[in-house]
Chains A and B, each alone.
Chain A
């Protein structure tokens, strides 16, 4: 199974870069930068999946990789870019909690994820089993990003980043999911982004701003 020591190191490096990008997404101030980072995350996922496909000799993983490339590196970022340009929300990106505290909480989450993942990686048999911890950490960090941001667009990107993490977890634990499930998830993502885009226009019409705390005024009083 182990074609070369170098390939395993490369996979570990790519996974670590994904973790770094998740942290960068947590801390960036500009929405445009956020979408670019998401595109990079997709690119790394593509490279990683192709490498695993090459290592393990599974051809359907090549299809997964191609799907990732088309969807997450090209299509979705394009849609998101046009969306924010139309909404005029390219730059301001406020947060509920300041950056150093968010980073510290993120760090603790990473430790938590790593600690949880260690017994699981002992059970798995794939080449990339050690990156399960990193995948779990990416999921948790994206969730944190969804919680600590104010603007609606970042919530969407957090949701998409979470899916990236799930994909990484799937490839590292079990060499990918059945093709049907993958195509289904991909379709879901696309539709979700369209529908959420429509919602954003509605929110902006209603409240004149995309700040989510306006939604709080919708409760029963």
Chain B
């Protein structure tokens, strides 16, 4: 009887997926408002409401996953909210479901961690944080469900505002306020571009539903204009160079669960938006779009990796690493546009699947790493890499789970980062077959730039993990650091398990991505009938099996361990480390973060704007200082800001302060309107 009820319940959920999704999405604002009831109680807000939100995330993940894998047709719904002429249109299709799946999967881990992270006596009231957090979550979900431009922009703005309040939680510090301001500014500039893009796409019909835009036929000029505006707008939100300047400021300023949400989930909504507009609404009209996106993507990836290598603040390093990964995703998207517009749909599907899976992977391992830095920050109160070290001993859980995240983000088999990078490199192999003259020779070089970036990411992550968790502690109080509590551990373990699962068994992720590419391009990826390997194009051409990697390595490790113990012995002694005859070694003599990044700084010096104070031989107290700034900030943003300031100053004469002038303005406007109307 009970199972019958349960099966009925499941059936009714699965047959109305959009309604069920909406139910979950609506529950988050309910939780948000519930947080306001007792805002200062940790037990109520953090230990009760946040876990409920996490469970809802899991539900969202399962629902979206079932919808996607089951291959249901898209569902639409109209809600009588909103403006009189413009009700809310909602739509659940393969693209939305894939990104909702990402939202649910990572959101669950982050919410669980946040439940354990907030402790008493810190900054803003927890109820307020909970309010903004759940509104943020809900607005991101609505962005992915929106089927008309109005609801999309409403949800987009809500997302920006909610995240702004989250970023400025510690608003008493001036640099956090500054970071928040920059973030809000860039978010709104992007939103204006997106709004204009929607405006262009309605193509004269003045209907703002996405259905109308899908069927509107635009001239190539207007289509390119819409695409460019969308690229600018969504690129600004995603952190594409050169619109990336807000990312390294905002992500470190926010509390760690919020940084994880922003890096892991919010950047993906921008990817969703770009995919929706380019593939679904504009139907991939020109291969030149692909070249632009590809170039920007590769450049962002390299830029992010190079800057991450020279950072000394652990959260800024991860922020730049996010820029790098977003660059990789855009590379996949650009490649896909290029193939699709040249009528090579199979390879377009491969590249798009690579980008989608990388979005999924990134949300998992980046969130994991940001949350781990949250634990480290909590335990040591230090954010700077120069004051950490050796934390693997006092914090074994965080260190172990962060190791999985580090290996995943470095793109190493058998974890998940490698799968998406492998697929992306595979799709590059087919670029010489492109029909365009110089492009088919230049793009293979992009594969080399991609390999360089991926390897540089490994370098950066070795630096990150090595300086924080390995080596000797650079401050004496670090040995008293406490490990994460059980809620935090569950959150971290959930994300780490996701990394391992997708790495070892990528078939499910590939299948899901295939459904999405099927919807966008009309082509899925060839699925190899074998369950233990993936072979996206054909088994003879290339195949990869995560299971074999993991199994063989573990087997050999085990066998070798046993063999060595049996044949030789397992005796061990401890002594001080090798000091090369210089016994006064301190923990300050190991590599600092700057030191580890020095080869990159030396080789890629052209990317940076650097100020260095070098000690001379006659200094009594030698000092070494290096200050690195983004060239784009100096060359692009500061001049534009100065020009805007000058313009504003020039126009400020209008605000004379005299009442007579203000009355004069109203009078002139009235005269003007009379002339126009009559």
Contacts from A to B (Cβ < 8 Å): 107, 111-112, 114-115, 118
Contact = CB atoms under 8 A, between A and B. Distances in A.
A111 B444 CA distance: 11
Nearest to B606: A101
A112 B439 CA distance: 10
B13 interface: no
A112 B445 contact: no
A111 B437 contact: no
Nearest to A111: B441
Contacts of A107: 445
Interface in B434-448: 437-438, 441-442, 445
A114 B437 CA distance: 10
Interface of B: 437-438, 441-442, 445
Contacts of B445: 107
A23 to B, nearest CB: 15
A115 B441 CA distance: 8
A111 B436 CA distance: 13
A111 B437 CA distance: 10
Nearest to B445: A107
Which 4 A-B residue pairs are closest in the complex by CB-CB distance? A115-B438, A111-B441, A115-B437, A111-B442
Contacts of B437: 115, 118
A15 B437 CA distance: 22
Nearest to A104: B445
10 contacts: A107-B445, A111-B438, A111-B441, A111-B442, A112-B438, A114-B441, A115-B437, A115-B438, A115-B441, A118-B437
A73 B441 CA distance: 34
Contacts of A112: 438
A205 B497 CA distance: 75
A201 B442 CA distance: 44
Nearest to B440: A115
Q: Majority SS of interface residues in chain A?
A: helix
Q: Majority SS of interface residues in chain B?
A: helix
A209 B553 CA distance: 62
Nearest to A108: B442
A112 B442 CA distance: 9
Contacts of B442: 111
A178 B245 CA distance: 62
A111 B441 CA distance: 7
Contacts of A111: 438, 441-442
Contacts of A115: 437-438, 441
A54 B298 CA distance: 48
B373 to A, nearest CB: 34
A111 B443 CA distance: 11
Interface-centre pick from A112, A114, A115, A118 (highest chain B CB count, 10 A): A115
A156 B96 CA distance: 64
Given A115-B437, A115-B441, A118-B437, 7 more contacts: A107-B445, A111-B438, A111-B441, A111-B442, A112-B438, A114-B441, A115-B438
Contacts of B441: 111, 114-115
A111 B445 CA distance: 10
A115 B440 CA distance: 10
Nearest to B438: A115
Nearest to A100: B603
A215 B79 CA distance: 78
A136 to B, nearest CB: 14
A38 B441 CA distance: 28
B238 to A, nearest CB: 28
A110 to B, nearest CB: 9
B298 to A, nearest CB: 14
A107 B442 CA distance: 10
A114 B432 CA distance: 14
B648 to A, nearest CB: 41
A13 B441 CA distance: 20
Interface-centre pick from A107, A111, A112, A114 (highest chain B CB count, 10 A): A111
Nearest to A112: B438
A166 to B, nearest CB: 23
A61 to B, nearest CB: 31
Nearest to A107: B445
Contacts of B438: 111-112, 115
A107 B445 CA distance: 10
Nearest to A119: B437
A217 to B, nearest CB: 29
A95 B559 CA distance: 56
A115 B434 CA distance: 14
Nearest to B444: A111
Contacts of A118: 437
A168 B299 CA distance: 37
Contacts of A114: 441
A118 B438 CA distance: 10
B64 to A, nearest CB: 44
A118 B441 CA distance: 12
B445 to A, nearest CB: 7
B540 to A, nearest CB: 27
A188 B563 CA distance: 76
A186 to B, nearest CB: 35
Interface-centre pick from B437, B441, B442, B445 (highest chain A CB count, 10 A): B441
A118 B440 CA distance: 13
A124 to B, nearest CB: 18
A114 B442 CA distance: 11
A102 to B, nearest CB: 14
A22 to B, nearest CB: 18
A10 B257 CA distance: 63
A79 B217 CA distance: 70
A38 B437 CA distance: 32
B650 to A, nearest CB: 40
Nearest to A101: B606
A180 B445 CA distance: 43
B431 to A, nearest CB: 13
A115 B438 CA distance: 6
B336 to A, nearest CB: 23
A199 B438 CA distance: 42
A1 B442 CA distance: 34
B347 to A, nearest CB: 21
A101 to B, nearest CB: 8
A112 B438 CA distance: 7
A40 B457 CA distance: 41
A111 B446 CA distance: 13
B294 to A, nearest CB: 16
A112 B445 CA distance: 13
A115 B443 CA distance: 13
Nearest to B442: A111
Nearest to A114: B441
A115 B437 CA distance: 6
A114 B441 CA distance: 9
A112 B437 CA distance: 10
Nearest to A110: B441
